[in-house]
Amino acid sequence: MLGISQDVTERKRAERALRESQQLLQAIIDNSTAVIYVKDLQGSYLMVNRRYEEIFHLTREAVLGKTDHDVFSQEAADAFRAMDQRVVAAGTALTEEEVAPHDDGPHTYISVKCPLWDNAGKPYAVFGISTDITERKRLEQQLLQSQRMEAVGRLAGGVAHDFNNLLTVIIGESELMLASLAPNDPLRAQIEAIDSSAQRAADLTRQLLAFSRKQVLQPKVLDLNTIVTDLGKMLRRLIGEDVELINRLSSNLGRVKADPGQIEQIIVNLAINARDAMPRGGTLTIETNNTKLDDQYASQHPEVRPGDQVMLAVSDTGTGMDREMQSRIFEPFFTTKERGKGTGLGLATVYGVVKQSEGHIWVYSEPGRGTTFKVYLPKVEEPAEVTRRSAGRSSSAGGSETVLVVEDDDGVRGVVRQVMSSAGYTVMECKNAEQALSMSGSYSGHIHLMVTDVIMPGASGRELAQKITALRPGIRVLYMSGYTDNAIVHHGVLDEGVAFIEKPFTPDRLLHKVREVLNT
């Protein structure tokens, strides 16, 4: 009997190492978060990993031997096939973005594909790795949109600032002229037209400042339900009889800290926008509720601070918007209305007010299915302050006190002097802080009030006020400005105890504000 023995230990060791290597490679491929696949030159799948199965809800058995045209839509399959062919033709790895259909809509992938070569140096397959970058693309688009809005906002704020001094002069001079004319004077109609146009321009600049977050806020602790209820009659007049108004207000709504006038502006602007989206009538629903924006929501909306929020939602049953329109609705001067019907500043104003109030606004809409705007404001634990909408002013108030007016703009200073003098006040005027300090030091009488611009060359109104009050304890100070400045505000919020009047103002409003400050 003849026996032959051969030592196969090394071969067995090599086979085991090969199996382990293959198992390791398969484990790496299957545990990758990227979609990995191999297709032959005809486009048939030779291999897919576990992530492919999970993403597209297909088993390997259902995919292997099939092409993209068997799995995806015609449009997507054609695009995939075209890239595969470009890779083979190039003979090297290529990186491109591809769009694949998903249950929740199309997703964007960054795909790296390269040809596989046989021993003869000929390509026989295409190897691909695709990573889902949909969320990254969405965040990039949000960031770009935010940066664009910031840039436009800075421009708008600068323009509004320059206009406010001009409008203060135009409004002041026109109203002073009207006060001096007889009711039947032929010039009255022309001057009234000037005044009316200036008031409309003032409204536009106010909206620009709101969008650019440069208006001065005077926040209070508010119950949004009270504001919505108080606005009820006005809203019904605004939206018309063919639109039904429904309020769904939470019975245990939390409080927010915001400027009540600005919150009213948000609601009114959203209601007008909803009305315009329902030309044949419909339903306008205003809803309030408590909610919480968690870390996951904040990660998807970079400008959001997570935490307890109070939500204000305004919904309509109107025409709705597509995604392109939704991406632009908060831009100033963007409008879908006919020329001459709307300034395109309503929603831009809403956006600016919400952002300056440290809130968040989001829009949900589909063409033909209406629109919902949701405003989120941080919840506070303080009790609500009593707020009531202004019922208007009585006749102009005057006085006999001495007032020091400090304003570097000659036109504005002249208007303030005329208004105050005609109301009985003794007026001293200066164009800067240096002159004001000199005049105050040399004047032997009592100065009851200083009315000063906030932003002046040399020294700010706040710096001047600190020096004046040190020289004349008890003097009252009224600041005037058409723009936020860190001298009297922080993050757009008026410092506590500071008296302020916003430019442009009317003579009547100036006199009432002066009287209010003197009487406190």
The pLDDT score that the predictor gives to residue 135 is: 81
Residues 458 and 382 in one domain: no
- Give residue 306's pLDDT band: very low, low, confident or very high (50, 70, 90): confident
**Residues 225 and 349 sit within 8 Å (Cβ to Cβ):** no
- Give residue 520's pLDDT band: very low, low, confident or very high (50, 70, 90): confident
Residues 329 and 383 in one domain: yes
> Is 96 part of a structural domain of the chain?
yes
Please state the pTM of the whole predicted model: 0.52
Phi/psi of residue 500, nearest 5 degrees: -145, 140
Residues 331 and 418 in one domain: no
Residues 111 and 226 in one domain: no
Please check the confidence at residue 219 and state whether its pLDDT lies above 60.
yes
Cα distance between residue 40 and residue 37, in whole Å: 10
Please check the confidence at residue 198 and state whether its pLDDT lies above 90.
no
Distances (CA, A) of 414 to 299, 392, 396, 400, 452: 53, 27, 19, 19, 13
> Is 211 part of a structural domain of the chain?
no
Residues 429 and 458 in one domain: yes
Beta strands in 204-267 (DSSP E): 220-222, 243-248, 255-258
- For residue 479, give the CATH number of its domain: 3.40.50.2300
Last residue of a domain, one of 335, 355, 390: 390
**Which residue range forms the structural domain that includes residue 426?**
402-519
Please check the confidence at residue 2 and state whether its pLDDT lies above 60.
no
> Is 182 part of a structural domain of the chain?
no
Mean pLDDT, range 411-428, rounded to an integer: 92
Last residue of a domain, one of 367, 390, 413: 390
> Is 413 part of a structural domain of the chain?
yes
> Is 64 part of a structural domain of the chain?
yes
Least trusted range by pLDDT, from 86-90, 166-170, 296-300, 312-316? 296-300
Residues 231 and 336 in one domain: yes
> Is 295 part of a structural domain of the chain?
yes
- For residue 386, give the CATH number of its domain: 3.30.565.10
The pLDDT score that the predictor gives to residue 423 is: 92
Residues 354 and 439 in one domain: no
pLDDT tens sequence across 73-131: 899 899 999 999 999 999 999 999 998 888 777 888 999 999 999 888 899 999 999 98
Mean pLDDT over the full length of the chain:
83
Cα distance between residue 165 and residue 410, in whole Å: 10
Last residue of a domain, one of 98, 132, 166: 132
Please check the confidence at residue 5 and state whether its pLDDT lies above 60.
no
- For residue 117, give the CATH number of its domain: 3.30.450.20
pLDDT tens sequence across 240-258: 889 999 999 998 999 998 8
> Is 395 part of a structural domain of the chain?
no
Residues 241 and 357 in one domain: yes
Residue whose C-alpha is closest to residue 506's, from 432, 440, 431, 418? 418
Domain count, the chain: 3
> Is 11 part of a structural domain of the chain?
no
Please check the confidence at residue 470 and state whether its pLDDT lies above 70.
yes
Residues 494 and 372 in one domain: no
